[in-house]
Structure 1
């Protein structure tokens, strides 16, 4: 089954989502770390009260993670799950 065109299509669909999203998140994380390292004074700029830019950027890392998870769930339900079901039915006969 692993060599079948259906499985290849499923793997291709998954990779077309997972790799770009992983790269985008990794770049966003590296930007956060670099800005925190080299522009620490800017990151310490208060926005309101004791909340500063660095804290907001840090919290946005969590927001981004949850957003990517939500987007993946929608993508998987729409694009991956139907293909997985078809492969499972074909394997089970």
Structure 2
């Protein structure tokens, strides 16, 4: 088989998938999840940093024993990261993976043409 035929097929297959409504929907769903959660996390993280810099009395407030608000906020940063990752995993399994699997099958079909 001619070396130039395979890249042409792959390019045509990629363009067919890229131009499909399912691909546009996949991008839309991904963006609609990622952008709000990224903004939410960044605001939460920047609030933590800002409080550590400018609200030291609040952050030094003892919650239980030697545990203060700053330590609780720091631990909640980890909790929120794992929470968002778990939400994304669930979302991807339910809303992204079925579309991606269909697009992958379409790409393979188009490559064989």
Normalising by structure 1, we get a TM-score of 0.96
Q: Considering Cα pairs closer than 8 Å and 6+ residues apart, tell me whether 1 or 2 has the greater RCO.
A: 2
**Residue in 1 that maps onto 2:88:** 72
Runs of 4+ off more than 3 Å: none
The correspondence of residues 1-93 of structure 1 with structure 2, limited to 5 A, is 1-93=17-109
Measured on the aligned residues, the alpha-carbon RMSD in Å equals 0.8
Unaligned stretches of 5+ residues in structure 2: 1-16
Unaligned stretches of 5+ residues in structure 1: none
